[in-house]
Structure 1
Amino acid sequence: MSLLIVRCGDTSLSYRLMVQAKGVPAVSGEVRKVGGEAEHRYSYPRGRGEGATEAPDFGAAVERMAELLAEVELRPSETPEVETIAHWFVVGGSTPVPVTRVDPGLVAQLSKGGGAPGIRGALAALEACRARFPQAQHVIVWDDAFFCDMPPESRHYLLPETLELPFELRRRGHRGLLHAAATARVVPHLGGARSRAAEAGGEGSRVVLCYCDRQAGVTAVLGNAPIWTTFGISPGDGLPGERGVGVLPIGALETLLRHTTLPPDRLLAILRHSGGLGVEEADEFERVALEAFRGVEPSRTRFAAFVREISAAVGAAATVLGGLDALVFVGARAVGSHRFRAAVCAGLEAWRVAPPADVPVPPFEVTRLSEEGRRPSVWAASINEDELVAREVSRYLLGDAGRGDAGASSPPPP
């Protein structure tokens, strides 16, 4: 089976073609700045490239992707055939099952009211892909399915009941497959730690996952179930990220709206895509971290403020759990930067978190960063999300084929 994974951000479309044939690397690429001065970066077995492109909307971005897939050769005289397309939706999962087959009813439900925040680009790309690849099977991978059963008090915003919205506004979670896999791989090493979080109910290991890549977030997991997270209605809501301010208090937002000449949509776009740590690439992240450790301004202040928000959130998660058995770092920046991990742990002395060991984290492995027997233990989990998606989609399609029409999806609420 060849599987094309398509992910959309607010202004980007990334894709990766997974091919089961052994030894055949995947085709991958990203169309950035959709709707503006777009750029297309891509790589495949026989080459790579990048440059300006035309992508005024997500339909055009899909066309650029399709053109590349029609041109590349995985091996001499062999162009890839797309059999299944997995559309990555950051919100919308209503059950723990992370995959759903696309049907007209599902698309209509998701499109209600113009689409929930965070999926409008994904919806546009889905429609364009269905038109461009009519022969392919189309499924949706719900990024937030892992978080769908969080307790109501952890997912609901305290909004007035008089507000009328076409969808439920609540915390959704982010990178669910990644968080689920990291939890499943670390918990067996914890020796069945018992939780004292009486309000959460049940027993199990008390794990806090600290995610950092383009966004940042902290999640409290009891046993194998998330019970609290900083992630909001979309991935950029919550903690500050590499770029993006996270959640602003209503008073601060009101002040900005009153004293800026920018239209609200433009202001919101700036807040979502600027600020935060103020970096875009991995080398910039590590440069800011290094300058911060050397006391160089403004990197020291920016990095310290960024890390303090994250350490405070880890402490809040441990409070919700009633204690802390393990702290697990996930996401490319968290896994790739010892300085980041050390800074976060330094802010958690009250929780008896020891400084993490400065050791390499091998790709696609879980690495212990604290002494054996130390509690809370510290870990870094390097997870291949594309393989997780391929496994879940394959499992779903095999099960769906066995059920016949019974496997058809019913539209979940956005």
Structure 2
Amino acid sequence: MPSNGRPPQPQLRAAAGDAILVINSGSSSVKFALFSTKDPPARLWSGAIDRIGLAHGRFHAVDAAGTTAFDETAEVADHDMALHLLLDAIDRHTAGDGLAAVGHRIVHGGAECDCATFVTETLEARLREFVPLAPLHQPHNLAGITAVRNARPDLSQIACFDTAFHHGMPHLATLTGLPRELRDQGIRRYGFHGLSYEYVVERLRSEEVDVDGERVIVAHLGNGASMCALKGGRSVETTMGFSTLSGLPMGTRCGDLDPGIILYLLTEMDLSADRLRHLLYEESGLLGLSGFSRNMQELLARPTDHSALEAVAYFCYQARSHLAALTAVLGGLDRLVFTGGIGANAPMVRADICADLGYLGVALDPTRNTAGARVISSAAGRVVVEAFATDEEQMIAQHMRRLLAAQPARQVA
């Protein structure tokens, strides 16, 4: 391992091509985006292959203008078939020299992966060690790599990590209260949603916001949810830690939990490790509290349902508490950015989270917040509050282009 802690870059060469493909593989879907290799990369397509493994799958994409490029029904048995279908469609529907590389969002890169890197067998083996830390994501991220290799073994693949952005966190922010020897075995806080946070930082910088001089909190709120405190444009603290379970409650994940509850469930209620894992990752959060849905939009659409109201209120209460705690790390707050599916699109949730934060200088303009304006803070507030969509795919494409630009032009054996 080099002295800088980064894994050595394998001597791969990019294939000739005028497009790069970004994929995000889930359990029953593959989301994708096709970009040019220009600087910055220009989005050509966005789409998904949904309902993998079911009889009536859907393969759809829109072009850069939002016009439907194609929308087909297809029976897609597995990720291998999905990637064959996608790569064949790219060949059919695009002109030019084809793909230069395929990039993957990988949720967990561990302590050694702090930058985008070419995929090798050694890297894949190391990433499989982190499946227990991100069981809802990591196996499917890796399945996408395998599927691309099966479809196009000569095509270069690049891994981009959600954990990489947090590598510069202060040492104390990475610690847990467990014995030191366990940290030496990898039990530490990593942080996630880094590609989203990195996109927000780069977008603010491109708009000449003084990110380096401001104290910023970004709230990435979606089916997975976390917050990140930024100082000097870098992550100094985040709500997710060792695994994708911690911090805020999420669609189906519990968020922070008294570890005594875990012990009680194991010893007094005789839950097996597998049953407990399923409970914490797939039956808790908004779904568990409401009893019927993990979808915030569905919960907000039932304002007279007590369980729905309680689930939303708990989510906002926990988010407000975590947000306030992050300001202690920063020593105050200058800018708050809401992003993610909930953060960018749920004004009621934003308003509830920001309620009673006037002592921090946070004050929303109700009209601008409800209308979905970019800046939603009022003139009376000291803190700038914004809401806009993140773009992790764009961030991956930018990492890919930088990595490919540093490589020789054509792939060799």
Map of 1:211 onto structure 2? 220
Correspondence 1:45-124 to 2 at 5 A: 45-49=68-72, 53-54=76-77, 60-70=78-88, 75=93, 81-92=98-109, 98-111=115-128, 113=129, 117-118=133-134, 119-124=138-143
The alpha-carbon distance between structure 1 residues 307 and 124, as it changes in their structure 2 partners (threshold 3 A), is same
Mapped contact 1:208–1:326 kept (Cα < 8 A): yes
Correspondence 1:294-313 to 2 at 5 A: 294=303, 296-313=305-322
In structure 1, list runs of 5 or more residues that go unmatched.
Answer: 55-59, 194-202, 406-414
Shift of 1:184: 3.8
1:289 and 2:300 equivalent?
yes
Mapped contact 1:96–1:146 kept (Cα < 8 A): no
Give the AA of the match of 1:168. G
Map of 1:139 onto structure 2? 158
Find the aligned partners of 1:238 and 1:139 in 2 and give their Cα distance.
29
Mapped contact 1:73–1:79 kept (Cα < 8 A): no
Map of 2:7 onto structure 1? none
Give the AA of the match of 1:5. V
The alpha-carbon distance between structure 1 residues 138 and 285, as it changes in their structure 2 partners (threshold 3 A), is same
The alpha-carbon distance between structure 1 residues 236 and 63, as it changes in their structure 2 partners (threshold 3 A), is farther
Shift of 1:143: 1.6
Shift of 1:102: 1.7
Find the aligned partners of 1:122 and 1:319 in 2 and give their Cα distance.
35
Map of 1:246 onto structure 2? 255
The TM-score normalised by the length of structure 1 is 0.78
SS in 2 for 1:208: strand
Tell me the number of residue pairs that the alignment of Structure 1 and Structure 2 aligns.
378
In structure 2, list runs of 5 or more residues that go unmatched.
Answer: 1-17, 62-67
Of 256, 273, 276, the residue aligned with 1:267 is 276
1:381 and 2:388 equivalent?
yes
Find the aligned partners of 2:140 and 2:44 in 1 and give their Cα distance.
30
Give the AA of the match of 1:140. A
SS in 2 for 1:358: helix
The alpha-carbon distance between structure 1 residues 335 and 204, as it changes in their structure 2 partners (threshold 3 A), is same
Find the aligned partners of 2:113 and 2:208 in 1 and give their Cα distance.
24
Of 186, 192, 201, the residue aligned with 1:174 is 192
Shift of 1:157: 1.8
Mapped contact 1:72–1:79 kept (Cα < 8 A): no
Find the aligned partners of 2:45 and 2:207 in 1 and give their Cα distance.
33
Mapped contact 2:49–2:82 kept (Cα < 8 A): no
Name the % identity.
Answer: 23
Give the AA of the match of 1:171. R
Map of 2:404 onto structure 1? 397
Deviation string for 1:278-308 (max 9, x for gaps)?
28999942242354xx454112211111110
Mapped contact 1:211–1:217 kept (Cα < 8 A): yes
SS in 2 for 1:400: coil
Give the AA of the match of 2:233. N
Mapped contact 2:229–2:330 kept (Cα < 8 A): yes
Give the AA of the match of 1:314. L
Mapped contact 1:71–1:79 kept (Cα < 8 A): no
Deviation string for 1:181-212 (max 9, x for gaps)?
2134446889759xxxxxxxxx8311111110
Map of 1:196 onto structure 2? none
Mapped contact 1:6–1:13 kept (Cα < 8 A): no
The TM-score normalised by the length of structure 2 is 0.78
The alpha-carbon distance between structure 1 residues 266 and 93, as it changes in their structure 2 partners (threshold 3 A), is closer
Mapped contact 2:105–2:396 kept (Cα < 8 A): no
SS in 2 for 1:221: strand
Find the aligned partners of 1:164 and 1:352 in 2 and give their Cα distance.
38
